[in-house]
Amino acid sequence: MSEVVKNTVIRFALLFLLITAGFIGVIIQILYLQHSDAVKKDLTPVANNQVKVNQPIKPNRGNILDANGYLLASSMPQYYVFMDTRIEALHKDNGALYKEYADSIAEGLSEIMGDVPAAEYRRRMDNAFYGNNGKGTNFRICKRRVNFLERKKIEQLPLVKEKYYRSGFIYEDAHIRLKPFGSLAGRTIGGIDATTGVGIYGLEKSFETYLKGEEGIATKQKVGGRWEFVPEEEAVDGCNVHTTLDAELIDICEAALRQRLDLTQADWGCCILMETHTGEVKAVCNLDKTEDGYSERMNHAVIRVEPGSTFKTISLMAALDDGKISLYDTIRVHRNGWEFFGSRHTDSHPKDTAYTVRSALAVSSNIAFAKMITESYEKKAKKFVDKLQRMGICDGFECEIPGSTPPRIDVPKDAVTLSKMSYGYSVELSPMQIIAFYNAIANDGRMVRPMLVRNIERDGEIIKAWETETIKGSICSQSALRDVKAALHDVVWDNNLGTAAVLKWNGKIVRRKAQSDLVSIAGKTGTAQILENGRYQRYKHRITFVGYFPEENPEYTCLCMINHPANYPAYDAGGDCGTVVRQIAEKTMAYVGEYRWTDGQWVWTKRR
């Protein structure tokens, strides 16, 4: 082997040995770093400061707006304020930092919150600081939530402005929805869970998917004791829900309903105002009696109940359309009632007389309707229910309000049940379903779905929109519709028989019920005994009036239902509920149009 080759081999061998030794050294160092407690103690804090953690970026919840663009519900930032007195900085040097600033913090909190004296805040802070055997505790600094401006002021207090690691102050988001119009239509608009921010009832729940938005992702990195957030994916704010509701009309309806409930001291009441041609629901009010008066507790508008005499109109339409009767057929009634297979039917205005079918609806005779429907459909009860289904009244049409119940109209198993169905017992409809039927009468027989939401919008772009939906093109023949309208006119305008016409004393008119000099209303009263524990309560009733206006060219349909007025026997469906609908009708027409005195009479012109 030549000298040159020999030297080359030696150099390569030395280089190989050097690389191998280096590699072995790296392996040894890795094993040392992995298993040395001393190294772990020194490097773990450094590593922790460099760890990146994914954190969600919360989106802003969308707004709910009325038909005119006014806010009905909007997100409002509020916070719970906590003080963690366990942090090391506060206890260092025998609590020197805490003792130096505690009084200043307490005085500042008292001034900002304005709820308790500074001494009380200092007492709370001391209890937490010296608690847990002197190690401190984490506690909520004040009972109520603070808004964004209050939080900013708190963050400027001495020591607090030095952030959590020295002051211990922590802020926890509280999901709050601001309702500029207060409790108006509160159950319909809905509410959210304060902890999760998720809609739990009303439109807030129905449209949770659109309102909540989409969370973003941020990388959270701790560097030098400070948190830095680096957005990886921006949050997408929730969509806005544009409703058909009108805040002004809701206020009109609630004021009229509340006034009547205060007078009758009823358990609860509800009102619905619906635009005739579009089906847009302009107002929904639900008021329950509480210790402090009346407030929104349940959405009675979508919960089915026995409708009572408002169902007579439905029975009448079915019989007329099937050709079973004519409007001027006569039916004899007796003051002692009508005995039918062991069941006695009675009238609220008992007398021995004969009613035409038309006047039987005006006076709301239970006996007349029981006779009329049993004679028309006895042993053919299924045909009666089938007829109701073809009219569309049995359709469980979709409603945007959660908890809405479908109608219950079963085929009666015996003639007695059929006879009671004729005037609104053994069947169940929600107020929303009742008003949809009467709205179809006002709308020349076309039944439309009650609609509460027009569209979903984000950043000015319509995501989804709803149009008027026809449930039934025609609920009956035009001749039957014409006859029904004539009978509903008499309910309000026949001063001798109409249950929603006038109140008389010694033959003289002392008060009008649903009658108005400003707007013509047609409709129907309803009174039903309340079923409790399997028995109908003699002195507990649910009273209703549902009607449309102006009668000659309907623009709106309105329903008022009041449950168990306390002033028995003074209450009256026409006098109480009819009065509410009259007041709503007059103010609604003034709001959407204007009255002018022309040729000796008031003439209304639509403005909106």
Does the pLDDT of residue 56 top 50, yes or no? yes
Q: Are residues 224 and 314 in the same domain?
A: no
Distance CA(5)–CA(529), nearest Å, equals 118
Out of 168-172, 265-269, 288-292, pick the least confident: 168-172
The predicted structure's pLDDT at residue 47:
54
Query: What are 276-287's pLDDT values in tens digits?
Result: 999 999 999 999
Kindly state whether residue 530 falls inside one of the protein's structural domains.
yes
Average pLDDT over every residue of 245-249: 97
First vs last Cα of the chain: how many Å apart?
A: 112
555 three-state secondary structure: coil
Examine the domain organization and report whether 554 and 575 are in the same domain. yes
Q: Is the pLDDT at 471 greater than 80, yes or no?
A: yes
Q: Given a cut of 80, is residue 604 above it in pLDDT?
A: no
pLDDT digits (tens, 9 = 90+) for 447-466: 999 999 999 999 889 999 99
227: domain CATH number? Answer: 3.90.1310.10
Location of structure tokens 């006098």: 575
**Residue 104: pLDDT above 50?**
yes
Q: Say which residue, 378 or 275, is predicted with more confidence.
A: 275
Mean pLDDT of the chain: 89
Q: Is 207 within the bounds of a domain?
A: yes
546 lies in the same domain as 564: yes
Which residues, including other chains, have CB under 8 Å from residue 25's CB and lie 6 or more apart? none
Domain limit, last residue, from 197, 227, 243:
243
Residue range 470-485: mean pLDDT, rounded: 97
Q: Are the C-beta atoms of 444 and 548 separated by less than 8 Å?
A: no
Contact 442, 554 (CB under 8 A): yes
22 within domain boundaries: no
Q: Are residues 158 and 115 in the same domain?
A: yes
Q: Which residues pair with 560 in a beta bridge?
A: 271, 545
Would you say residue 585 lies in a domain?
A: yes
Q: Round to whole Å and give the CA distance between 212 and 227.
A: 27
Q: Residue type at 380?
A: K
Domain containing residue 134: CATH number? 3.30.70
Q: What is the pLDDT of residue 359?
A: 97
If one counts the domains in the chain, the total is 3
- In a domain, residue 25? The reply is no
Instruction: State yes or no: cis peptide before 59, omega within 30 of 0.
Output: no
Mark whether 493 and 480 lie in a shared domain.
Answer: yes
Q: Between residues 505 and 38, which one has the greater pLDDT?
A: 505
- Give the pLDDT of residue 399: 84
**Which residue reads 């029981």 in tokens?**
370
DSSP, res 352:
S
Q: How many residues does the chain have?
A: 608
Domain that holds residue 152: 78-175
Same domain, 86 and 52: no
Residue 371 lies in a domain: yes
Q: Is the pLDDT of residue 378 over 90?
A: no
On whether both 332 and 472 belong to a single domain, the answer is: yes
**pLDDT at residue 389 in the model:** 94
Q: Are residues 392 and 306 in the same domain?
A: yes
If asked whether residues 296 and 429 sit together in one domain, one would say yes
Query: 592 and 576 share a domain?
Result: yes
Kindly state whether residue 324 falls inside one of the protein's structural domains: yes
CATH number at residue 594: 3.40.710.10
Residue 298's Cβ-count burial label (10 Å; 0-12, 13-18, 19+) is middle
The model's confidence at residue 595, banded by pLDDT at 50, 70 and 90, is confident
Last residue of a domain, one of 217, 243, 269: 243
The alpha helices in 2-66, defined as continuous H runs, are 3-35, 37-50
For residues 364 and 466, state if they share a domain: yes
Alpha helices, H only, 422-541: 431-442, 478-493
Q: Band of the pLDDT at 233, cuts 50, 70, 90?
A: confident
Which of 1-10, 42-51, 259-268 is the least confident region? 42-51
Judged against a pLDDT cut of 60, whether residue 408 lies above it is answered with yes
Distance CA(369)–CA(363), nearest Å, equals 11
Is residue 41 predicted with pLDDT exceeding 90? Answer: no
The model's pLDDT over 305-316, given as tens digits with 9 standing for 90+, comes to 999 999 999 999
- The residue among 175, 209, 233 that closes a domain is 175
Is 5 inside a domain boundary? no
**Do 196 and 225 have their domain in common?**
yes
